[in-house]
């Protein structure tokens, strides 16, 4: 499948999902992206792996509104127009057109509160060890999945995530009269913001040391300036105009998802 559209756009696979994307600068690029989709559609028909066209969506990641191009699949005399969406869920992460991740964070916060409610209703008096096991497995896991992708920079988002841990740590009887900072020290828990920063640092370490697929990772420019002291892994500080790129490890321009 990648061979049929390699000259027109880029494609990523995970199991039975494929994402085709291209940076759009003019209408010609829209046509090339549409041709990529048509090539994949024709390939699927040829090898009897029919696409579910209703599940194929167009997500335009951009900073301002512009005319929407009608992406279509054609077969014989029939034409299937793909739906434009403002957000889509991909591998457990809701990606919106502005890359704000407001919907994803809101959904994960609600899931975490639901898990917290289950623990609170069923365990009236909980010891520290049991709390830590349940909290890390049932609550915090929802707040950290793919955190390097959607790591927020808005204060409101950071507070909404941290609010869950503030409430959860009050379940332990020995911590109820302590402040949030004292509860974290007592339970040996870091803040969620710190753990997201730690996760980003781990991802950067993997990228710089070749532990990740280079074709799927952002290009981190190294600083080889020898005028000052340093090491071989120094990164170039690049000025970015938009916060969308300034605060994200992973950013793409256009995303076209096909689901079989």
Q: For residue range 129-177, what is the model confidence (pLDDT) as tens digits?
A: 999 999 999 999 999 998 888 989 899 999 999 999 999 999 998 888 8
Q: Is residue 88 domain-shared with residue 106, that is, in the same domain?
A: no
Mean pLDDT for the chain overall? 84
Find, among 84, 86, 116, the residue nearest to 102 by Cα: 86
Would you give the DSSP letter of residue 68? P
Residue 241 lies in a domain: no
Q: Is residue 187 domain-shared with residue 106, that is, in the same domain?
A: yes
Residue 213 lies in a domain: no
Does 194 or 253 have the greater pLDDT score? 194
Residue 30 lies in a domain: yes
Would you give the DSSP letter of residue 88? E
Domain containing residue 63: 2-92+254-259
Residue 121 lies in a domain: yes
Q: Which of 159, 175, 198 is the last residue of a domain?
A: 198
Q: Is residue 129 domain-shared with residue 174, that is, in the same domain?
A: yes
Evaluated on CA atoms 169, 173, 175, 177, the torsion sign reads positive
Radius of gyration of the chain (CA): 23
Q: Is residue 86 domain-shared with residue 160, that is, in the same domain?
A: no
Q: Is residue 82 domain-shared with residue 115, that is, in the same domain?
A: no
> How high is the pLDDT of residue 244?
67
- Number of domains within the chain: 2
Strand order in the sheet with 17-21: 10-14, 17-21, 254-259, 57-60, 83-85
Query: Lowest-confidence range among 147-156, 187-196, 251-260?
Result: 251-260
CA separation for the pair 48, 102 (Å, rounded): 39
Q: Is residue 107 domain-shared with residue 189, that is, in the same domain?
A: yes
- Residue 102: exposed, middle, or buried by beta-carbon count in 10 A (0-12, 13-18, 19+)? middle
CA separation for the pair 101, 143 (Å, rounded): 13
Q: Is residue 86 domain-shared with residue 109, that is, in the same domain?
A: no
> How high is the pLDDT of residue 254?
33
Does 183 or 63 have the greater pLDDT score? 183
Q: Is residue 110 domain-shared with residue 186, that is, in the same domain?
A: yes
Residue 214 lies in a domain: no
Query: What is the pLDDT averaged over residues 57-74?
Result: 77
Residue 237 lies in a domain: no
Would you give the DSSP letter of residue 199? H
Q: Which of 181, 198, 215 is the last residue of a domain?
A: 198
Q: Is residue 115 domain-shared with residue 82, that is, in the same domain?
A: no
> How high is the pLDDT of residue 249?
66
Q: Is residue 115 domain-shared with residue 33, that is, in the same domain?
A: no
Q: Is residue 141 domain-shared with residue 183, that is, in the same domain?
A: yes
Evaluated on CA atoms 166, 170, 174, 175, the torsion sign reads positive
pTM over 0.85: no
Cα–Cα–Cα angle for 59, 84, 242, rounded to 5 degrees = 40
Residue 207 lies in a domain: no
H helix runs in the chain, sequence order: 2-5, 27-46, 102-122, 128-134, 140-144, 147-150, 155-168, 180-187, 192-208, 243-246
Residue 228 lies in a domain: no
């Amino acid at each position: 499948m990648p061979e049929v559209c390699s000259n027109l756009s880029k494609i990523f696979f995970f199991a039975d999902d494929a994402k085709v994307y291209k940076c759009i600068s003019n209408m010609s690029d829209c046509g090339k992206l549409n041709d990529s989709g048509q090539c994949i559609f024709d390939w699927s028909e040829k090898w009897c792996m029919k696409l579910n066209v209703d599940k194929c969506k167009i997500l335009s990641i951009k900073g301002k509104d512009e005319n929407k191009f009608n992406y279509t699949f054609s077969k014989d005399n029939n034409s299937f127009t793909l739906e434009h969406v403002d957000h889509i869920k991909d591998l457990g992460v809701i990606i919106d057109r502005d890359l704000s991740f407001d919907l994803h964070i809101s959904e994960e916060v609600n899931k975490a509160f639901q898990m917290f409610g289950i623990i609170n209703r069923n365990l009236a008096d909980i010891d520290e060890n049991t709390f830590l096991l349940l909290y890390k497995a049932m609550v915090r896991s929802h707040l950290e999945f793919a955190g390097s992708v959607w790591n927020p920079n808005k204060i409101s988002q950071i507070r909404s995530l941290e609010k869950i841990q503030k409430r959860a740590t009050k379940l332990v009887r020995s911590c109820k009269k302590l402040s949030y900072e004292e509860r974290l020290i007592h339970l040996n828990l870091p803040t969620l913001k710190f753990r997201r920063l730690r996760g980003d640092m781990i991802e950067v370490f993997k990228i710089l040391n070749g532990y990740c697929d280079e074709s799927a990772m952002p290009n981190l420019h190294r600083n080889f300036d020898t005028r000052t002291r340093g090491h071989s892994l120094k990164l170039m500080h690049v000025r970015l105009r938009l916060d969308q790129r300034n605060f994200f490890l992973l950013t793409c321009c256009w995303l076209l998802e096909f689901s079989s």
